[in-house]
Structure 1
């Protein structure tokens, strides 16, 4: 037995300890021939196997117990999330109060069918979303229930006395409230409506008869000082049961509603994983607010942020990852409203925010919810390296998780308690619908991760048991893979990233050229000249987007000279693509000379809008609500053009979120350099639809009158 270690053994120990003490190398490197990512293969494995969809699902179950659509429940969720974030290793965790304002809460809400066989239809205590937010207090017994069908047609109200009665509808409750309550004197509404308009292509009322929809009593429905009406939400099955009872005779109901308004506020929860470079951030967001249960929307995104933090802090502590180059700023906040306020409070911070990643509706079982896992591109005008990173991540995940039993277990992304569903992830062209749109509107490249569509969206069916831990794990890895590149890339790693951007950009511009040449080939002879101009706009926008994406790598530390060489290659390729378009057009044997510009076209070329500083997040819909009477014809022109656009896009197979808040998407092109005519062409490149220049002039004219835009020249 040797009592003392050999001197050589001691030396080995010292060398080993010295190596362990060294700072781990950057996770970002050259494009992997195996994964196609600019992350080292061992880092990819570490991100997969340290992160856990099962842990995320635990957080989903915890948050789904809370009604986060009121200040009390939201605050309880924020306090729990704050403690969990601190336990996960997040630093400088703060719960920042938002603006004080009137808050609503209910202490009782019950709807009963009266009579000898009295029974309770629904209860706020059992299902908080059964009593719509902002419902007013009311006590009443033996109130007559009157069915008005969808509540949208004159014939449904004909001959019906509604004064002092309760209205039953299967249509959108807002329309029924405005008509039955404010005009005809009903005291409240019971609605079995559950399908939001933007989800109509994916499910119809009655497809899921036991789901209860989520609703709010519209603000300003009744004059100030008058009590608000109540609104109960019931399932389609319950609505049909009540209508069946009405066929046998009058139905009376008892209503017990106790609500109150009180001063209070929501909050913005934030924290950081500190970076080594001062003044640079990558921002991660998830909206914490929503009804109970709201498991997929959006307990899933909120719980995923916690797991991302825990994964990073664990790998940094273990020495697998060095500290990030750029600070990771993590935000939990109310959707839209909270993001707007965060920008109001912190938009002017002396920080360069290089990218944003939003996590909203991540965990729906793809097979049971008939859903897809989606990652969005940034808008064309906001080209960034994040698009190539997203593409490479999605391609890697599909390749190694496209079957139930992939041959490489080290790249399998699954969870112990989750499904073995094959993955089919997709990248979608820019669409709005969550907080990433506000970051893009503010000029920060924003990417959204989500599962859409979802059969349980905005209903009581959005429960933890329909959230798949495996899908949560996959969404978490998609975020980790993308964020790691954005937060750790610098110097040589940023140059490797630029090479990835160039490779993926070549594929994307080829796809755009294909679309441009296809549209040109399908144009009638009389429309070739106009389509030739639009096809050239598609190609120019595509190449400019990819040049911008390459230049965004310079901000991360890629050598400017090397990146410039890549952009020059793009410029040569663009010239060749435009020559091919010209050849296609000339082969049609028609004149490419467009007619003389109309007066509207000349004005559109002269009008160069620019968003007023501080109004980056202003909404056209909000502007419309306060438009002056003399502006109503212009509003009508814009809305008619947008309806035509959405119809055309829908018939072409585009998803509903693609044209969600479309006027704001168009307004985001105003940069003080593009004329309205340029924006028309750029919007065609993005959406493949020709927006009438007259309507665009009215849109930007209204935005200018509303103080959102100004004229650059």
Structure 2
């Protein structure tokens, strides 16, 4: 403590006065207690059960029905302004650079073996994942041919698939192009595998949810099989059997809409801005953890906060709190693009995607991912405080017993400790859209991983836990309410916590620098940690103006440390080119099924050169590189920022990426 800046020592001392009696350092106990008392994990689980009855594919009748149900529930939770917004999904409407795809209406489908055996193979909608999304009408009898993965031309050498059905394990849209569009196959049987984890392949009866291209109007069909079914057919075909199947499909791709459910808890100051909670409502039936769980959890956040506000247990927040249920990623992009008036009003938020799984059945644990490193924010400190409370209380209860309520246990549900962690940003869901260039909304990300049932027929409500749903609901409600409602009088405590966390991060950066053989990379780690600390400080001052004087002093101290930091110059030349993205680019370059880079390259007849190899998370670094490309920073400067905030990254990788984007017309050089 003696080495901390004097002002920080005073702030920290003030904030920790009576901290032992506080569950959350910056809230008197009656506030988190009131939120906790209003949370109902069992109600969240019942919502999961209801949502699981809908087959919630983007732009489908099942999704529309789920959205209508969610609107009704949001109104019943006290949000009278709950509405469903409809955005065209017609294959041509643009949302910034993202081109929408078509909707899908599937009635029924059946696959039967007719020779040499007569038996049913797959049925839709009895098994919702049996028919791949964007399959279309068919009534064909044909022989089955195995093509291995079916993902390269080599897989088809010596095999006549014209007028036949192919059995393949490769990506469906790619197999469809190679087998159906180019070689005349009539349709696909697929056991395309699920996301890879330590348990991949153990359960041979999992049937994966599959997707053909939502842009290809000439799609035929694909039936999804379990590994056991597919391997059985492969063995019979290898033994010389001639197998004939009958496929019947009633389904079509047609113009539809991305339906987004939106509702708010109005703030006391209409001009103060909004805090947002999001969850994607889509996915296969039951899609219990992914993502009926997140959808149900933010609904329960709304119920709990409204109940506590209306009872007078907590004050109405100064900022409004908005809830958004979307078709994953595409719906968030459409909603943001069609609401430019909200840009700058949303101060931060939380995205929930897979938050209720039982460890014993899914093998997944809970992760709270911080905001993007390009968007440092006090949300990270608020999230850490609530996470620590739940983790500590649940562990104490699991180890010692006692008061289940104090352990955040839902009666009749599990009593396990809350197993999870707080980690740096990860991509893969709607928060990726909100935090991307053009929108710039800092978001925490709640998610379970790995979940061995994700995107399969076994993602069922029985694998979820009401206790965990209650704990996650409390986390979301507490964090969102803090950002929306923490009074100025309590802000010094939050500022002190922010600086405490910042000093910890700085110590870690200094350790990295001490252990790094490359003195420049080590210096960058310290420099960029200081820069993130300063940006996080500014987020406190923007939200709580009473802290402005203190944050100015602390920011100046950080600048002094930065100025005194030596930054050795490397021998290699720094890339001084300055990339400037097109104004049309708002949001991530990849939006669910859509890859804007590939689309632009195809339009220009270009073939992308492979990027230099990198032993790290290339996708995350290139995403953050676009977030930093503002027409002022050079490639070299972007390289230094990313190397300091994440890990050393080759400048050649960033240069090649930006050169590819320039060739595709996505950016130009200033």
Return the TM-score normalized by structure 2: 0.89
Q: 2:308 aligns with which of 291, 315, 318?
A: 315
- Match of residue 464 from structure 2: 467
Alignment partner of 1:698 is 2:669:
no
- Match of residue 646 from structure 2: 687
Looking at structure 1, the residues matched to 534 and 402 of structure 2 have their Cα atoms a distance apart, in angstroms, of 36
Residue 677 of structure 1, CA deviation = 0.4
- Match of residue 560 from structure 1: 548
Three-state SS of the structure 1 residue aligned to 2:361 is: coil
- Match of residue 539 from structure 1: 526
Three-state SS of the structure 2 residue aligned to 1:420 is: coil
Q: 1:236 aligns with which of 222, 227, 242?
A: 227
Q: Does structure 2 retain, via aligned residues, the 8 Å contact 1:29–1:493?
A: no
Looking at structure 1, the residues matched to 292 and 554 of structure 2 have their Cα atoms a distance apart, in angstroms, of 42
Pick closer, same or farther for the CA change 1:291–1:630 going to 2, 3 Å. closer
Q: Does structure 1 retain, via aligned residues, the 8 Å contact 2:298–2:476?
A: no
Pick closer, same or farther for the CA change 1:219–1:95 going to 2, 3 Å. closer
Looking at structure 1, the residues matched to 235 and 76 of structure 2 have their Cα atoms a distance apart, in angstroms, of 54
Looking at structure 1, the residues matched to 61 and 25 of structure 2 have their Cα atoms a distance apart, in angstroms, of 44
Looking at structure 2, the residues matched to 92 and 710 of structure 1 have their Cα atoms a distance apart, in angstroms, of 43
CA-to-aligned-CA distance 1:194-242 (integer Å, 9 cap, x gap): 31xxx324442x2121111111112565xx6xx4221000111111222
Q: 2:250 aligns with which of 249, 258, 262?
A: 258
Q: Does structure 2 retain, via aligned residues, the 8 Å contact 1:394–1:425?
A: no
Residue 614 of structure 1, CA deviation = 4.9
Alignment partner of 1:619 is 2:606:
no
Within 5 Å, which residues of 2 pair with 1:194-233?
A: 194-195=193-194, 199-204=195-200, 206-219=201-214, 227-233=218-224
Within 5 Å, which residues of 2 pair with 1:215-364?
A: 215-219=210-214, 227-246=218-237, 247=239, 249-279=241-271, 280-349=273-342, 352-364=345-357
Looking at structure 2, the residues matched to 374 and 350 of structure 1 have their Cα atoms a distance apart, in angstroms, of 28
CA-to-aligned-CA distance 1:334-393 (integer Å, 9 cap, x gap): 111111111112133376221121111111112321112111111222111001111222
Looking at structure 2, the residues matched to 363 and 429 of structure 1 have their Cα atoms a distance apart, in angstroms, of 21
Residue 669 of structure 1, CA deviation = 1.6
Q: Does structure 2 retain, via aligned residues, the 8 Å contact 1:377–1:427?
A: yes
CA-to-aligned-CA distance 1:173-214 (integer Å, 9 cap, x gap): 33332222223221111011231xxx324442x212111111
Looking at structure 2, the residues matched to 452 and 84 of structure 1 have their Cα atoms a distance apart, in angstroms, of 28
Pick closer, same or farther for the CA change 1:382–1:566 going to 2, 3 Å. same
Residue 79 of structure 1, CA deviation = 0.7
Q: Does structure 2 retain, via aligned residues, the 8 Å contact 1:272–1:329?
A: yes
Looking at structure 1, the residues matched to 444 and 205 of structure 2 have their Cα atoms a distance apart, in angstroms, of 34
- Match of residue 416 from structure 1: 411
Residue 418 of structure 1, CA deviation = 2.2
Within 5 Å, which residues of 2 pair with 1:522-601?
A: 523=517, 531-557=518-544, 558-572=546-560, 578=565, 594-595=570-571, 597-598=572-573, 601=574
CA-to-aligned-CA distance 1:301-328 (integer Å, 9 cap, x gap): 1111110011001101111101011000
- Match of residue 513 from structure 1: 510
CA-to-aligned-CA distance 1:101-148 (integer Å, 9 cap, x gap): 24221222111011374111111121122111111211123x111112
Say which structure is richer in helix: 1
Looking at structure 2, the residues matched to 632 and 302 of structure 1 have their Cα atoms a distance apart, in angstroms, of 41
Looking at structure 1, the residues matched to 342 and 604 of structure 2 have their Cα atoms a distance apart, in angstroms, of 40
- Match of residue 124 from structure 2: 124
Pick closer, same or farther for the CA change 1:406–1:285 going to 2, 3 Å. farther
Within 5 Å, which residues of 2 pair with 1:354-433?
A: 354-402=347-395, 404-406=398-400, 409=403, 410-433=405-428
Alignment partner of 1:44 is 2:32:
yes
Three-state SS of the structure 2 residue aligned to 1:109 is: strand
Looking at structure 2, the residues matched to 120 and 350 of structure 1 have their Cα atoms a distance apart, in angstroms, of 53
Looking at structure 2, the residues matched to 705 and 245 of structure 1 have their Cα atoms a distance apart, in angstroms, of 49
Three-state SS of the structure 1 residue aligned to 2:88 is: coil
Q: Does structure 2 retain, via aligned residues, the 8 Å contact 1:71–1:266?
A: no
Structure with higher Rg: it is 1
Pick closer, same or farther for the CA change 1:343–1:152 going to 2, 3 Å. closer
- Match of residue 160 from structure 1: 159
Pick closer, same or farther for the CA change 1:708–1:208 going to 2, 3 Å. same
Structure 1: give runs of 5+ residues left out of the alignment.
1-27, 524-530, 583-591, 650-657
Structure 2: give runs of 5+ residues left out of the alignment.
1-14, 91-101
Looking at structure 2, the residues matched to 352 and 490 of structure 1 have their Cα atoms a distance apart, in angstroms, of 19
Looking at structure 1, the residues matched to 363 and 139 of structure 2 have their Cα atoms a distance apart, in angstroms, of 42
Alignment partner of 1:676 is 2:635:
yes
Residue 63 of structure 1, CA deviation = 0.3
Q: Does structure 1 retain, via aligned residues, the 8 Å contact 2:374–2:624?
A: no
Q: Does structure 2 retain, via aligned residues, the 8 Å contact 1:489–1:556?
A: no
Three-state SS of the structure 2 residue aligned to 1:626 is: helix
RMSD: 2.5
Looking at structure 1, the residues matched to 127 and 411 of structure 2 have their Cα atoms a distance apart, in angstroms, of 31
Q: Does structure 2 retain, via aligned residues, the 8 Å contact 1:68–1:291?
A: yes
Pick closer, same or farther for the CA change 1:243–1:468 going to 2, 3 Å. same
Return the TM-score normalized by structure 1: 0.84
Looking at structure 2, the residues matched to 392 and 31 of structure 1 have their Cα atoms a distance apart, in angstroms, of 16
Q: Does structure 1 retain, via aligned residues, the 8 Å contact 2:24–2:32?
A: no
Tell me whether 441-450 or 178-187 shows the greater mean CA deviation.
178-187
Alignment partner of 1:82 is 2:55:
no
Looking at structure 2, the residues matched to 82 and 382 of structure 1 have their Cα atoms a distance apart, in angstroms, of 32
Looking at structure 2, the residues matched to 307 and 36 of structure 1 have their Cα atoms a distance apart, in angstroms, of 21
CA-to-aligned-CA distance 1:1-53 (integer Å, 9 cap, x gap): xxxxxxxxxxxxxxxxxxxxxxxxxxx99883343532222322222232021
Residue 464 of structure 1, CA deviation = 0.8
Pick closer, same or farther for the CA change 1:615–1:485 going to 2, 3 Å. same
Looking at structure 2, the residues matched to 220 and 50 of structure 1 have their Cα atoms a distance apart, in angstroms, of 45
- Match of residue 149 from structure 1: 148
Residue 665 of structure 1, CA deviation = 2.6
Looking at structure 2, the residues matched to 499 and 293 of structure 1 have their Cα atoms a distance apart, in angstroms, of 44
Residue 71 of structure 1, CA deviation = 2.2
Q: Does structure 2 retain, via aligned residues, the 8 Å contact 1:103–1:262?
A: yes
Q: Does structure 1 retain, via aligned residues, the 8 Å contact 2:427–2:620?
A: yes
Looking at structure 1, the residues matched to 631 and 154 of structure 2 have their Cα atoms a distance apart, in angstroms, of 51
Pick closer, same or farther for the CA change 1:316–1:408 going to 2, 3 Å. farther
- Match of residue 497 from structure 1: 494
Q: Does structure 2 retain, via aligned residues, the 8 Å contact 1:193–1:235?
A: no
Residue 705 of structure 1, CA deviation = 5.1
